[in-house]
A and B are shown apart, each in its own frame.
Chain A
Amino acid sequence: MTQKYRLDKEGYINRKKSISFKFNGKKYFGYHGDTLASALLANGIHLVGRSFKYHRPRGFIGSKEDEPNAKVQLYNGAKTEPNAVATEVELVEGLVAKSQNCWPSVSFDFGAINNFLSKFFPAGFYYKTFMWPKSFWHKIYEPIIRKAAGLGVAPLKPDPDRYEHKFEHCDVLVVGSGPSGLGSALAAAKNGARVILAEDKSKFGGSLLTDQVTIGNKTGKEWADETVEQLKSMPNVVIKNRSQVFGYYDHNMMVMFERTKDHIESPNKYTPRQKLWYIRAKEVLVSTGSIERPLIFGNNDRPGILLASAAKEYIKKYGVLVGKKPVIFTNNDSAYDAAIEFKKNGINPLVVDIRKNSEGTAVKEAKDLGVNIKFSHAVANTKGYLRVSSATVGKLNNDKSGYENLENIPCDCICVSGNWTPTVHLASQSGNKLKFDEIISAFIPNQSHQNETTIGSANGSFTLKKSLEDGFNKGFEVSNKLTKKNIKSDPPTSNEKSYDNYEKFWCMPLPENKKYKRCVDFQNDVYVSDIELAIREGFRSIEHVKRYTTLGMATDQGKTSNLNGLQLVSNIENKIVPEVGHTTFRPPYTPVTIGTIVGREVGKHYRPTRKSPMHSWHEKNNAVFVDAGLWLRPRYYKQGNETLQQAAKREGANVRKNVGICDVTSLGKIDIKGPDSAEFLNRVYTNAWMKLPVGKARYGVMLREDGIVFDDGTTTRISENHFHMTTTTAQAVNVLAHLEYYLQVVWPELDVNVLSTTEQWAGAAVAGPKSRELLKKLFPETDVSNEGFPFMGFKEENLFGIPARVFRISFSGELAYEINVESNHGIFMWEKIMNLGKSMGIQPYGTEALSTLRIEMGHVAGSEIDGRTIPSDLSLEGMLSKKKDFVGKRSLNREAFLNPNREKIVGVIPVDKKTMIPEGSHLVKDKNAALPNPKLGHISASCWSVEYNNPFSLAILKEGKKRIGEKLYALSPLKNKSIEVEVVSSHYVDPKGERVRS
């Protein structure tokens, strides 16, 4: 167990609990409380990846979500996850991780040849190189780019984990639990507000976990722990760690993911891996803190070069030294904290400070501890390939354009600090137009556009005193807007170091005649020379520079690079930073696993499934189901080795010969009541409804206002002011909304109510020449003769003690009835019909046979009512009343709709009477005509006619019936078919409709 860089003390880890894990195939040990990053560093490992474009060796830069380099692939197989940030991955027993973007290994990477060819890969390289010839794109360029650009590898198997979604509401959401976050949560909670406090790390406290400060008479850490305990005990507070608020959406909709499983050693089977929280907060307090800025110098991207704050955090939180020969390079006081921590743990750092001097207390303390400091100096370059081995340090000349002398100082790490950048992502996402703060040389939130308040160092106040004041004051203010309780808590006193000014200088000059690479964006591999090139080539807008160089476009969203990039552009352009502006921050703040966003809506939970009350019967009788919208409907009832077509033929033929039963529960049903019901139907349907007698049904067609056919169905007059409307399965929901719109918005004077009753009724269609005989058995008391129960008749009946509605309507074109009973009696009805129909040869039929029967009868359905056809296209002109106005009527006068050459419905049969014509085939005159072959129409629906035992299709064809008798070709390039066809009438079977009236 060799953790050579682990200290004996310091850190919030459990040294008694050793944890083994694998990195790049090798076994290592860390401790409970480690992250993958801190455990690797404890083992002296800095090299974790290769850079994106040039495959330069890369190590850790940071210690938290800002980390641009340490992206790793976790685990294998279905559980694998790409692009995990090693600094955010908590160590658990058995963790397996490997480096990305390198082959065959991280220390020997073939792609590194790109580094030596780098003059061929400047900014805009992809745009310039892969432009021409166009034909190369698919086969040559794209595969090369994809292989070279591969960050992680997406899993190829379904995610085995479970993810949950959760919805919450609160008065105040506090994001981040540093001093301002804790303070504001406490102040708001004490003032009676319902508070949610979210912290993305495993431990609460933010900077208080690492900074040497006192609050009241306690250390910062003690105060944080105590405050957290206090908040946990309050019933109006929800406090969540491992919870990253990553998106700020409209109307204060905040989205957060909570890591609930990966850190647990042996989780329960059903523990969700992550939870996605949708939080609607009345007020949001953003206390997301700040991120340290790197400095830019020659070869500043070697493994071992990292942020000074990260070095301090690894010591204070994990008891890990990032090196034993550190150079600390800074333009401000905060880096001295790292120097002091090193010194206290027996390590002698060298501080290289750009400034001439500093009077800050940290600097004084470092001096008192005997830390070696070189003022007015800078790191110009570094050496070492897989790990930094020396820093080239020189005294800056007066205008900082070069160096007076240079010397090589051996080191094993360089800790850099270019001062701090407020984390303004959430504020910016909320619509807050940021402003540039000259004092800190960074953007801070300006005018809030939602109920958003940014506090603490996220708002640019970098002292503890200010952060605490900010937190307590704003926590009270925003909560008081809601609770009006006026319970104000005062911020505690605090003690911290004083800080002197920083130097506004980030990009070191190159020594004379040297062309060292100076990295700006570590994750996307963007260098100073790339930005210079973009400006030289005429890109001025920062948004263009960003896209041309890809600066800040990686998954870290430029957390460490954006401001340095802006600063460079402003220096080169001689503009001030606010003139250059900043690019837009977009959610998510950190990468989010797709599974978390999807939640439980996967597989069969993707959407609800609607089943008829007879579903279990269908299952028991070998039904093969088909999706019809949300409904599962029997497509056919399989017997033996039947194919779909064979079954449809058998079921359909039995309807034509004997009697069949079909589950029609999914048809939309709408109950319509009120004294103006008939008048209302008269307006929304194209035909006349005023004189429909009670106890009669009528077929109706509805149009949209633009004249296109919307839906069709039958509506029955149950009593004077009570109608029962049916719609197609597909349009049931839309028809109801359509009716509500006209009743509420357009004609509120009509006294009508509509209500969906689809789920209240179970429906069975009983169809075939023997259906009357069967009906007689079902309702022995009833006169079912053609005179006693004529076509389009309706009767309220009693099915062996159960109330039933019986309609004499037909979709199959045969003599047919539809029986409805309350849903809970559906199975009783179905079994009764099957039982009593046995002697007549009854068989159930599914949607495939149903389609066959309607197609050969020429009845239109969704494939013809396709949002493009008007009534006359579908031979429905007889349904249009000339006497009254109705929805959509005025549109039918449009010129295009009056054109007699429109595509209209016809029937089509293959000349060989054998070949099924694929639906969607195009109808053309000449099958060999030059492409694009002029299209005359298309096949909308096909079936094997059970009446004539040959294929038959419906088609929508130019000039429609005028072409009956013509020979055309049906082409389906997708199915590689070209079929000679003859145009016939769409009413292939029983054109006069005698059977339904028999």
Chain B
Amino acid sequence: MLEIKCPYCGSRSQNEFSYGGDSNIKRPELGKEVSDKDWDNFIYLRKNPRGKHSELWHHVAGCRQWFKVLRDTSTHEIFKTAKLTEEL
């Protein structure tokens, strides 16, 4: 079980959090024309890197804030966590 440092609450066990995928994915702006390909990329296509991955986590059993985590997908090492407004 990972130990994740919520930027608001501090270090907590993984079972307080839920995973939210790649944090670099940007939703296309509402009301703007989006090509099929771009929309397809946004909805379905994700990288599956071995190594460093910046991702979103949600502190569901805590402060209920979403935040960013830089994690190694093969070793589970967590290098850094940050608020959404901060750089990872």
Give per-residue flags for B19-52: 1 if the beta carbon is below 8 A from chain A beta carbons, else 0: 0100000011011001000010011100000000
- B64, CB-defined interface residue at 8 Å: yes
Chain A residues with CB under 8 A of B65? 744
Residues of A within 8 A of B6 (CB): none
A186-228 CB mask vs B (1 if < 8 Å, else 0) is: 0000000000000000000000000000000000000000000
Given contacts A251-B2, A280-B13, A744-B66, are A449 and B34 in contact (CB under 8 A)? no
Q: Is B60 an interface residue (CB 8 A)?
A: yes
Chain B residues numbered 34-88 whose CB sits less than 8 Å from any CB in chain A: 34, 39, 42-44, 56, 58, 60, 64-66, 75-76, 78, 84-85
Q: How far is the CA of A886 from the CA of B64 in the complex (A)?
A: 24
B58 touching A740, Cβ below 8 Å: yes
Contact A885 B31 (CB under 8 A): yes
List B1-15 residues whose CB lies under 8 Å from chain A: 1-3, 13
Q: Residues of B contacting A744 with CB < 8 Å?
A: 65-66, 84
Residues of B within 8 A of A926 (CB): none
* B-contact bits for A425-443, CB 8 A (1 contact / 0 none): 0000001000000000000
Distance of B26 from chain A, by nearest CB (Å):
9
Q: What count of chain A residues pass the 8 Å CB interface test?
A: 24
Contact with B along A210-253 (1 / 0, CB 8 A): 00000000000000000000000000000000000000011111
Given A737-B60, A890-B39, A251 contacting B76 (CB threshold 8 A):
yes
Cβ–Cβ < 8 Å partners of A431 in chain B: 75
> What's the nearest-Cβ distance from chain A to residue B84, in Å?
6
B56 and A706 contacting across the interface, CB-CB below 8 Å = no
Are B1 and A449 interface neighbours, CB within 8 A?
Answer: no
Measured in the bound complex, the distance between the Cα atoms of B43 and A277 in whole Å is 41
Residues of B with C-beta under 8 A to A737? 18, 58, 60
Say how far B77's CB is from chain A's closest CB, in angstroms. Answer: 8
Q: Which residues of A contact B64 (CB under 8 A)?
A: 740
Residues of chain A contacted by B18 (CB below 8 angstroms): 737
Q: Which of B3, B27, B43 contacts A891 (CB 8 A)?
A: B43
Complex: chain B residue closest to A706, CB-CB: B43
B interface: dominant SS: loop
Name which residue of chain B comes closest to A733, CB basis.
B60
Q: Would you list which residues of chain A between 879 and 896 have a CB under 8 Å from chain B?
A: 884-886, 890-891
Q: Nearest Cβ in chain A — how far from B34, in angstroms?
A: 6
A745 at the interface (CB under 8 A from B): yes
A746 to B34, CA, bound (A): 17
Among B20, B44, B85, point to the contact of A741 (Cβ < 8 A).
B20
When each residue 298-323 of chain A gets 1 if its CB lies under 8 Å from chain B and 0 otherwise, what string results?
00000000000000000000000000
Q: Does A293 contact B (CB under 8 A)?
A: no
User: A249: which B residues are within 8 A, CB to CB?
Assistant: 1
**A325 interface residue (CB < 8 Å to B):** no
Tell whether, in the assembled complex, residue A253 and residue B1 are in contact, meaning their CB atoms are under 8 Å apart.
Answer: yes
CA distance A249 to B1 in the complex (A): 6
Decide: B58 and A253 in contact? CB cutoff 8 A: no
B33's nearest neighbour on chain A, judged by CB, is A890
Asked if residues A745 and B39 are in contact (CB atoms below 8 Å), the reply is no
A705 at the interface (CB under 8 A from B): yes
Given A253-B1, A740-B64, the answer on whether A705 and B76 have CB atoms closer than 8 Å is: no
Bound complex: CA A936 to CA B58 (Å): 41
By CB atoms of chain B within 10 A, which of A706, A741, A744 has the most? A744
The smallest beta-carbon distance between A615 and chain B, in angstroms, is 25
Q: Does A683 contact B (CB under 8 A)?
A: yes
Interface string of A877-919 (1 = CB under 8 A from B): 0000000111000110000000000000000000000000000
Spell out B's residues near A (CB within 8 Å): 1-3, 13, 18, 20, 27-28, 30-31, 34, 39, 42-44, 56, 58, 60, 64-66, 75-76, 78, 84-85
30 pairs of residues in contact across A and B, judged by CB atoms under 8 Å: A249-B1, A250-B1, A250-B2, A250-B76, A251-B76, A251-B78, A253-B1, A253-B3, A253-B13, A278-B1, A280-B13, A431-B75, A705-B43, A706-B43, A706-B44, A737-B60, A740-B64, A740-B66, A741-B58, A741-B66, A745-B20, A745-B84, A746-B27, A884-B31, A885-B31, A886-B30, A890-B28, A890-B34, A890-B39, A891-B43
Seed contacts A683-B30, A741-B20, A741-B66; 16 additional CB < 8 Å A-B pairs: A253-B1, A280-B3, A449-B75, A705-B27, A705-B43, A737-B58, A737-B60, A740-B58, A744-B65, A745-B20, A745-B66, A748-B84, A884-B31, A885-B31, A890-B28, A890-B34
Q: Chain A interface (Cβ within 8 Å of chain B)?
A: 249-253, 278, 280, 431, 449, 683, 705-706, 737, 740-741, 744-746, 748, 884-886, 890-891
